[in-house]
Amino acid sequence: MVISSPPAPRTPNSPDLHSRVFSHVEVIGARGTGLGQFTKPRSLALDRDDNLFVVDLTGRVQKFSPGGEVLSSWRMPETDLGKPKGMCRDTNGNIVIVEPHYQRVNHFAPDGTLVEQWGAHGTNGGQLVLPRSVAANRHGDIFVSEYTTVDRVQGFSANGRKPILLFGKPGTGNGEFNRAEGLDVDAQDRIYVADSCNHRIQIFSRDGKWLKTYGKAGRGLGELSYPFDVRVDRAGRQYVCEFGNSRIQVFGTNNEPLEIIGGPGEQARTVQQPLGHRARFARQPVRRGCRESSSAEARGDAEAFLWNFGRAANRLTPHPGPLPVEGRGSRVGCTSRFGRHCAAFGSFGPALPDLPKRSERGETICGIPNRSSRPLSPQRGEGRGEG
């Protein structure tokens, strides 16, 4: 698992990272089932005390201190149908975890106590079909992305979890989705959606009106390959995690590309700097994330949490002080310690969007072949094996 913190000391396992946003990487954790170990970590969140929560494919949630020490762990109530994916923190300080195959959303207190559970299967408004990601706005409303028989985003009220918003449908036009995955809400209540199989990010107003789309399929700066998540920091900078390119891209407040971080590889270290600055992450990085820390908001620094397939997290420590602006394509720093959570699947290596790619359990990703013996429907299908 990969994590980072602002004034964190360098350690022997801190690979170099050539970036204008972050100063270095630290790698902690290992593949395994013991405390502090991970089996395909899937999502993360931070509580108000900057404790880190990580859920992996075993259905176990682990809690870490800001320094990376294991504090506690618990298991999800049920995992037979599939494993949890998608986390955030609500305005009450609870950790929210989505269970796609149970079509429901759980709210856990930081000590692991289940305090709220809601959701029902169906395609009508207020019902859920394979929810993928979750985000909360400053008012306490919860937003959930869905895909398969539907491709949409729904909003639920802070009080009573009543449906208050529904937008999106399958397609390639503005306001349409092809596998809506990660989402986030910025300080102005705009909703950002990772439209993964359309290789783009879409931005909507608080009432679900389409505002803007950016990104197109490709490997270059500003281009995207299967973005699986997007998170926005307090300054409006966006962190987009790409399954297809095994990397994170940072975009500015005007949606302009600022920097590329990451790339396919076996080692968690920097290897090259074309089109921006790249770090090489271990094979199949599954999740990469930035989270905004309540205790660091006033400091104006940033910290990104990343983690690799079957390993743990890369801790990216930001450069101190403001970063210089270089005009179009300039690179700037984040303004909060953890930004906000960004997550994404990785790949075995670089590939253009039209090349074969496989996910962690072999499910179809936007028409990409799955390696299990059970065929899945192209583009729209995800079977139980996704976990």
Cβ of 74: how many Cβ atoms within 10 Å? 17
Token couple for 275 = 């089109």
Indicate which CATH number applies to the domain containing 323.
Answer: 2.120.10.30
285-304 confidence digits (pLDDT tens)? 333 344 554 444 433 334 44
Q: pLDDT, tens digit, for every residue of 64-74?
A: 998 889 999 99
The strand pair at 278-280 and 60-64 is best described as unpaired
Instruction: Specify whether the CB–CB gap between 23 and 321 falls below 8 A.
Output: no
Mean pLDDT of all residues belonging to the chain: 75
pLDDT category at 28 given cuts 50, 70, 90 is low
Task: Give the single-character DSSP code of 373.
Answer: S
Query: Can you give the pLDDT at residue 24?
Result: 72
What's the number of CA atoms in the CB half-sphere (13 Å) around residue 38? 30
Compare 316 and 188 and report the one with higher pLDDT. Answer: 188
Q: Which residues pair with 167 in a beta bridge?
A: 153
Phi, psi (deg, nearest 5) at residue 166: -150, 125
Q: pLDDT tier at 116 (50, 70, 90 boundaries)?
A: very high
Domain extent for 117: 2-386
Taking alpha carbons only, the member of 339, 344, 345 closest to residue 46 is: 339
Question: Edge-to-edge strands of the sheet including 95-99?
Answer: 87-89, 95-99, 104-108, 114-118
How many other β-carbons are positioned within 10 Å of the β-carbon of residue 149? 12
Total domain count, the chain: 1
Q: What is the pTM of this model?
A: 0.76
CA-closest candidate to residue 15, choices 278, 274, 222: 278
Share of the chain above pLDDT 90, in %: 56
Q: What is the pLDDT of residues 340-385, one digit of tens each?
A: 333 333 333 333 334 334 344 434 455 543 333 333 333 443 333 3
What confidence tier does 265 reach under pLDDT thresholds 50, 70, 90?
confident
Q: Tokens standing for 8?
A: 């964190």
> What per-residue confidence (pLDDT) applies to 378?
35
pLDDT band at 317 (very low <50, low <70, confident <90, very high): low
Q: Cα(first)–Cα(last) distance of the chain, in Å?
A: 19
Residue 98, CA distances (Å) to 79, 109, 190 in order = 12, 15, 21
Question: Which amino acid does the sequence have at 74?
Answer: W
Checking if the pLDDT of 313 tops 80, the result is no
pLDDT tens figures, 190-199 = 999 999 999 9
Instruction: Write down the pLDDT at residue 316.
Output: 63
Listed range (4-8, 187-191, 238-242) with the worst mean pLDDT: 4-8
